[in-house]
């Protein structure tokens, strides 16, 4: 896969706190897998802390007022607490991983994306209706 064909990935938890998702995605083993498969990784982590290890892991590390950015191999990484233009962020992303809050569902349900109620129902069944 070349850089031009690698998709971008947005991981979002909205304004909530869901470190089980954000910490997993930003863990060393997952970043190692993603770095050759994703062109841009954006993680919107809400109230969660920015993992301290990112400064050592990312090259060109740039801390910001409300996040940080850098590179891991050819993958650009952008970490933010909140997004001013969430809908635009979703539209610029090829893939979205989320806790499936209302904002994400309404921002991703357009003509490009179809939610499949059978898969949602299966997921709820697997997770005990949560």
Whether the model pTM is above 0.85: no
Question: Which range marks the domain in which residue 13 is found?
Answer: 3-126
d(CA 81, CA 65): 10
Residue 122 pLDDT exceeds 80: no
pLDDT tens for each residue of 28-59: 999 999 999 999 999 999 888 888 899 999 99
Instruction: Read off the tokens for 27.
Output: 């863990």
Structural domain count of the chain = 1
CATH of the domain at 106: 3.40.50.2000
Q: What percent of the chain has pLDDT over 70?
A: 73
- What average pLDDT does the chain have? 79
């Amino acid at each position: 896969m070349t850089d031009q064909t690698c998709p971008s990935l947005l991981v979002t938890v909205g304004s909530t706190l869901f470190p089980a998702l954000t910490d997993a995605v930003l863990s060393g083993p997952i970043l190692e897998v993603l770095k050759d498969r994703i062109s841009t990784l954006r993680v919107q982590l809400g109230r969660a802390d920015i993992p301290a290890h990112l400064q050592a892991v990312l090259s060109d590390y740039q801390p910001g007022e409300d996040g940080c950015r850098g590179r891991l191999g050819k993958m650009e990484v952008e970490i933010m607490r909140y997004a001013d233009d969430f809908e635009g962020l979703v539209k610029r992303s090829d893939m979205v991983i989320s806790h499936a809050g209302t904002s994400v569902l309404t921002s991703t349900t357009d003509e490009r994306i179809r939610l499949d109620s059978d898969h949602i129902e299966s997921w709820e069944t697997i997770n005990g209706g949560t």
